[in-house]
Structure 1
Amino acid sequence: MERIFPICVLCITAVSASSAQPEELYGVVGQEVPFPTSVRNSGGLSYSGTDIGDVTHGQFTPLPNEKFTGRVQWDSSTGFFSITGLKMEDSGRYRVKNDANLDTVYQLTVFIPVSKPKVSHDKHSCTLYCTVDRGTEVTLSWYREGEKENFISSDSLNAPYVKLPEAVERSGTYTCEAVNPISRERSSVTVGEECAGYTGPHIGLVIGLICTSAAALIFAGLYCRQRILQKRRPE
């Protein structure tokens, strides 16, 4: 029994390490991302189960891999592995094995930074438009000057198909904010008094329909009254 116990402890440790939740890492296209697990003497870096970097006796060797050729690095001063020149397809699961032969798993997601939003204002319809040309997982939000809370937001989408129109009823400065996990950009537009109290063309249409219906009812009432009076007259 004394011999079995240490083996069981090792089994439990291995299962716990392999089932641990990966740590989230965000990277920017074209830049470098370090994996913050220090390897000083011996260890390695793998991607989706394939070894791509090795450190043995303090000496780094990048392992042959067409996907990462020339892009896997190791910093001897920090002990961190890193990948340079990030590409969108580098997103995935990485594993760093440290000197104690323990694994740390990272889930890397590579993003394209958002571009500065393009904002415009249609004075006829009092509609604001906000679009971005670049970015992944972008969320757009409109804010009015002096108000902390956004009054409308878009779903998380990829550019260039991100657009957020919104009709406004008050004058002032409106700011569109484009955000994703690694970047944030803003642009503003000023709306004049022409939109103060604006209720939109649909309200005018409704009012027109109400007036038309009322006129038709009045006409029908007068017609019925005239018919009744004619029937009451003696022949």
Structure 2
Amino acid sequence: MEGDSVTLKTDVTEIQRDDLIVWTFRHNSSETHIAEIYKQIISMHDNKENNERFRGRLQIDEQTGSLTITNINKLHSGLYKVQIMKGDVKHKSFSIAVYGLPVPVISDSPQNLPVSKKSSEQKCSLLCSVVNVSHVSLSWYKGNSLLSSISVSDLSISLSLPLEIECLDDSYSCAVAYSSINQTKLLNSTDVCQTCSDVRPVIVKPLIFAAVFLLLLLVSSVLAMKIFCHRRICKETAQESKY
């Protein structure tokens, strides 16, 4: 992965003074010398124009001749060869493919209800996915709070992590992380979930209707009581007038 350091080992236990070790890099049809060690003197060829990609990234172990490439990126993908001359000549080759960390994709989960029914259902099922990754973790966040996470150590697989929410009321995001590198995808309110401001009126309206109904019922009761009391007082007054 981009940002890694990789060591290409010669399998030499200890370099003798007259030993010669030469490292080359081949990309497409071009092959260039990048480093060597002879008479226990290390020479780096990373300052030439055609080796600019390796500037400051190469290290050679003075005891074994092994080559380390630090902070690699996609430009370092290719074929590396080493010639080890210790009386006889030995060859080793290494093929390196460097992958960048992809941005995760947020999609509507398959078990979600059809769009036409979402207005009546408050649950929203999401799925965060990332492909061709290894040794990464995939996580859901709400703001800075971790909601769920999953990790994998296999090579070149697809990884998915579901999430179910009622509505979008904060900054939900999904992040894939490898070592100190991460890629984050924010969930937009226009993606697959309704915002909570869109959902609340559906909940509030019945409450308003209920409150209005209770108020009307209370007013009707008060009016009925007043009418009843008024009639009773009038009736008692009429009876007193007869006597």
TM-score bracket, normalised by the shorter chain, equals 0.3 to 0.5
Q: TM-score, normalised by structure 2?
A: 0.40
Q: TM-score, normalised by structure 1?
A: 0.41
